C-alpha cells in the first residue's frame, strides 16, 4: 500500500518532488533538533491543484497529512511520524502587490523576509516580523496566527489577513481570496482556518494587508525601575506619539548577562547593569516627524529623547540610550532577536509562551519565579516579553535534571497564568506540546464545539492528527 501511495504522489507532483529516507531528513526534526520523526514522504506540490489532488489521495487512503512551511515552530506542530508531510516551499510566488489598495496576494510558501523586501520597493511594509523571518513562510504564520514584535501597533497575523485560499480535508478548493475590509456574508471561515495549525485544511494563498513604511524610526534602550513602571512608560509614549509605538520589548538583566556570554563581542545596552531593560521603537509616518532639521536631527528621535529625558528627571526611567544610526538600531534589535539562540546556551531549559492582561505582567513574573524556585531553588531565569501586548516567553534553566520537576515547573507557570486571567498559549500555538494545558484549562463547551467542527470538516481525521485537540 505504501508503494502504491508513493507512486500516486509521484504521478501528481513528479517523482523528484516526493522525498523519502535520507532525502526527507531535513523535514524529520524540529528546528532545535530536539524531536525527530520519520514521515512516509515529504511531498512538494507546485500549485493549489496539486495540493488538492494530494489531499484527496490521502483522504481516500486514510493517510495522515501534516502541512509544513519553514518548520520554525516551537510546539511540535509538524511531528509527522508515518505521515505525508506537505511542504509548500515550491508555492512561493508573490502573485500581486497592489500599492493603491495596500494589499499583497501571496502563496503560502513565500518566505516572510522575501515579502518584506518586495513590498519595500513600493514604500510599504508587511509588519509581521520575528527572529525566524528569514525562513518562516506565510502559510505557517497564518496557520499558527503568529505574533512577533509589532503586535502592539499592527496586531497579530489574523488581523493582517483579508482573504485566504485553502484546500479542505476532503480535497476541495475554498476560494476566500477577498481584499475586502468588510464582508458580513456568513461565517468567517477565513478566521476559522487561521490559527488552526493545519488541522482543518491547508492554506495555500492569502491576501494580506500592507501599511505605509514609516519615514523614520526612533529606537531606544530604556531601563525602568520595575516592570509596572515600564508599562506606565508604554502608555506615556503612546500618548506622546499618537499611538506610534511599534515595539515594546522587555529583557531582564539575567537575559542581558546570558546574551553577552553567548555573544562575547556584543556590547551591553548601558554602562551600568539594570534589571528591567526595554527596547522601544516608534515609527513616524508624517514628514514633519521624519525629515531632519537644520541640525541634522530627526524630529521623532529628538522627541523620544526629550520624553525619556523628562521621565529620567522624574525617576520613571533610570537610564536610556537612543539609537543615533541604523547600525545602533540594528544592534538593539539583534540583542532581542537572539533570544532563541541565547536560550540554548544551556540545557535543560523549561520554556513557555503565555500571555496576561498588560497590567498583570509584574505579578506574573513574581508568581512564576516564586513557583519555579519552590520546585528548584537553583533555577536561573532568562525570559523575555513582548510587553506591549502582555506576551511573556518564560524561560528558565533548572539546576536539577529531574524531568518530573521540569514538567511540574511548566505546569506551575500555566497555573499562575490562568489565575491572572491569561492564556497558556500566546503566539506559538498548541501542537503536541500544549495538549495537556488544553485539556486542563480550555472551556469544555468551547472544546466540544472545536471537536464538532473538526469532525465535520475532517471526517477521516487525516489533517495534522493529534494536534491542538486533546
For 329-355, what is the mean pLDDT? 94
Residue 465 lies in a domain: no
Per-residue pLDDT at 198? 98
Check whether residue 364 and residue 423 sit in a common domain. yes
Rounded CA-CA distance 433/414 in Å is 13
Rounded CA-CA distance 84/2 in Å is 11
If you average pLDDT over every residue of the chain, what do you get?
A: 96
The residue out of 284, 309, 339 marking a domain boundary is 339
Residue 187 lies in a domain: yes
Check whether residue 262 and residue 288 sit in a common domain. yes
Q: Which residues of 388-425 are buried (b: 16+ CB within 10 A; e: fewer)?
A: bbbbbbbbbbbeeeeeebbebbbbbbbbbbbebebbbb
CA distances from 410 to 14, 306, 435 (A): 45, 42, 13
The model's confidence at residue 452, banded by pLDDT at 50, 70 and 90, is very high
Sign of CA dihedral 386, 27, 432, 55: positive
Check whether residue 301 and residue 362 sit in a common domain. no
Task: Give the pLDDT confidence of 385-444 residue by residue, as tens digits.
Answer: 999 999 999 999 999 999 999 999 999 999 999 999 999 999 999 999 999 999 999 999
305: exposed, middle or buried (Cβ count in 10 Å: 0-12, 13-18, 19+): middle
Rounded CA-CA distance 413/408 in Å is 9
The residue out of 159, 179, 212 marking a domain boundary is 212
Rounded CA-CA distance 190/61 in Å is 28
Check whether residue 77 and residue 133 sit in a common domain. no
The model's confidence at residue 344, banded by pLDDT at 50, 70 and 90, is confident
Check whether residue 367 and residue 386 sit in a common domain. yes
Per-residue pLDDT at 116? 98
Residue 445 lies in a domain: no
Rounded CA-CA distance 207/162 in Å is 5
For 275-284, what is the mean pLDDT? 98
Residue 397 lies in a domain: yes
Range of the structural domain that residue 42 is part of = 2-87
The grid coordinates of residue 14 equal 513528479
The model's confidence at residue 285, banded by pLDDT at 50, 70 and 90, is very high
Proportion of the chain above pLDDT 90, given as a percent: 94
The model's confidence at residue 35, banded by pLDDT at 50, 70 and 90, is confident
CATH code of the domain covering residue 166? 3.30.465.10
How many domains, in total, are found in the chain?
4
Helix, coil or strand: residue 158: helix
Residue 459 region by backbone torsions, left for phi larger than 0, else alpha for psi between -120 and 50, else beta: alpha
Check whether residue 150 and residue 237 sit in a common domain. no
In sequence order, what E strands does 177-243 have? 202-209, 211-212, 216-223
CATH code of the domain covering residue 325? 3.30.70.2190
Task: Give the pLDDT confidence of 257-269 residue by residue, as tens digits.
Answer: 999 999 999 999 9
Check whether residue 68 and residue 183 sit in a common domain. no
Comparing C-alpha atoms, which of 271, 281, 275, 266 is closest to residue 334? 266
130 vs 106: which has the higher pLDDT = 106
For 127-138, what is the mean pLDDT? 93
The grid coordinates of residue 150 equal 509589532
Check whether residue 227 and residue 308 sit in a common domain. yes
CB of 338 closer than 8 Å to CB of 269: no
Check whether residue 172 and residue 229 sit in a common domain. no
Task: Give the pLDDT confidence of 220-251 residue by residue, as tens digits.
Answer: 999 999 999 999 999 999 999 999 999 999 99
The structure's pTM equals 0.94
Per-residue pLDDT at 375? 98
The grid coordinates of residue 275 equal 534589571
Residue 19 lies in a domain: yes
Check whether residue 100 and residue 192 sit in a common domain. yes
Distance between the two ends of the chain, CA-based, in angstroms? 29
Residue 354 lies in a domain: yes
Comparing C-alpha atoms, which of 250, 251, 244 is closest to residue 218? 244
Identify the top-confidence range among 25-29, 31-35, 73-77, 369-373: 369-373
Query: 300: part of which helix (H) or strand (E)?
Result: helix 299-314
CATH code of the domain covering residue 399? 3.30.70.2740
The residue out of 297, 322, 339 marking a domain boundary is 339
User: Cell 538593539 appears where?
Assistant: 332
The grid coordinates of residue 172 equal 476541495
Task: Give the pLDDT confidence of 134-191 residue by residue, as tens digits.
Answer: 999 999 999 999 999 999 999 999 999 999 999 999 999 999 999 999 999 999 999 9
The model's confidence at residue 311, banded by pLDDT at 50, 70 and 90, is very high
Check whether residue 200 and residue 258 sit in a common domain. no
Residue 168 lies in a domain: yes
pLDDT of 31 over the 80 cut: no
Residue 434 lies in a domain: no
Check whether residue 69 and residue 81 sit in a common domain. yes
pLDDT of 2 over the 90 cut: no
Rounded CA-CA distance 83/282 in Å is 45
Proportion of the chain above pLDDT 70, given as a percent: 100
Per-residue pLDDT at 30? 84
pLDDT of 1 over the 80 cut: no
pLDDT of 454 over the 80 cut: yes
CATH code of the domain covering residue 20? 3.30.43.10
The model's confidence at residue 342, banded by pLDDT at 50, 70 and 90, is very high
Amino acid at each position: 500500500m505504501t508503494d502504491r501511495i508513493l507512486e500516486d504522489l509521484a504521478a501528481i507532483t513528479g517523482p523528484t518532488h516526493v522525498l523519502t529516507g535520507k532525502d526527507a531528513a531535513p523535514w524529520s526534526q524540529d528546528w532545535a533538533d530536539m524531536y525527530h520523526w520519520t514521515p512516509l514522504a515529504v511531498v512538494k506540490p507546485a500549485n493549489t491543484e496539486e495540493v488538492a489532488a494530494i489531499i484527496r489521495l490521502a483522504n481516500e487512503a486514510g493517510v495522515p497529512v501534516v502541512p509544513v512551511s519553514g518548520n520554525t515552530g516551537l510546539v511540535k506542530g509538524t511531528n509527522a511520524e508515518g505521515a505525508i508531510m506537505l511542504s509548500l516551499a515550491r508555492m512561493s510566488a508573490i502573485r500581486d502587490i497592489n500599492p493603491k489598495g495596500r494589499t499583497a496576494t501571496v502563496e503560502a510558501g513565500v518566505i516572510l523576509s522575501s515579502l518584506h523586501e518586495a513590498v519595500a520597493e513600493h514604500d510599504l511594509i508587511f509588519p509581521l516580523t520575528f527572529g525566524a523571518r528569514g525562513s518562516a513562510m506565510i502559510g505557517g504564520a497564518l496557520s499558527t496566527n503568529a505574533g512577533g514584535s509589532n503586535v502592539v501597533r499592527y496586531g497579530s497575523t489574523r488581523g493582517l489577513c483579508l482573504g485566504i485560499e485553502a484546500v479542505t480535508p476532503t480535497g476541495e478548493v475554498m476560494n476566500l481570496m477577498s481584499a475586502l475590509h468588510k464582508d458580513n456574508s456568513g461565517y468567517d471561515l477565513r478566521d476559522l482556518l487561521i490559527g488552526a495549525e493545519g488541522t482543518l485544511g491547508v492554506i495555500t494563498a492569502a491576501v494580506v494587508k500592507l501599511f505605509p513604511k514609516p519615514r523614520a524610526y526612533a529606537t531606544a534602550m530604556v531601563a525602568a525601575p520595575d516592570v509596572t513602571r515600564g508599562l506606565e512608560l508604554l502608555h506615556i509614549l503612546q500618548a506622546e506619539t499618537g499611538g506610534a509605538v511599534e515595539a515594546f520589548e522587555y529583557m531582564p538583566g539575567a537575559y542581558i548577562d546570558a546574551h553577552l556570554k553567548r555573544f562575547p563581542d556584543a556590547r551591553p545596552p548601558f554602562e551600568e547593569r539594570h534589571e528591567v531593560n526595554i527596547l522601544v521603537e516608534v515609527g513616524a509616518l508624517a514628514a514633519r516627524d521624519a525629515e531632519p532639521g537644520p541640525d541634522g536631527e530627526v524630529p521623532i528621535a529628538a522627541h523620544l529623547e526629550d520624553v525619556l529625558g523628562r521621565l529620567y528627571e522624574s525617576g520613571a526611567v533610570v537610564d536610556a540610550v537612543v539609537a543615533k544610526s541604523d547600525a545602533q538600531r540594528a544592534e538593539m534589535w539583534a540583542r532581542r532577536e537572539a533570544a532563541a539562540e541565547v536560550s540554548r546556551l544551556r540545557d535543560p531549559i523549561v520554556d513557555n509562551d503565555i500571555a496576561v492582561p498588560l497590567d498583570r505582567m509584574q505579578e506574573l513574573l513574581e508568581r512564576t519565579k516564586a513557583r519555579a524556585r519552590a520546585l528548584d531553588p537553583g533555577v536561573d531565569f532568562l525570559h523575555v516579553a513582548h510587553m506591549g501586548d502582555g506576551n511573556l516567553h518564560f524561560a528558565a534553566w533548572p539546576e536539577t535534571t529531574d524531568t518530573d520537576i521540569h514538567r511540574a515547573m511548566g505546569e506551575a507557570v500555566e497555573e499562575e497564568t490562568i489565575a491572572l486571567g491569561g492564556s497558556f498559549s500566546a503566539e506559538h500555538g498548541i501542537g503536541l506540546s500544549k495538549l495537556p494545558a488544553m485539556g486542563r484549562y480550555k472551556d469544555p463547551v468551547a472544546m466540544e464545539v472545536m471537536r464538532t467542527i473538526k469532525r465535520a470538516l475532517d471526517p477521516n481525521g487525516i489533517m495534522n492528527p493529534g494536534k491542538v485537540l486533546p
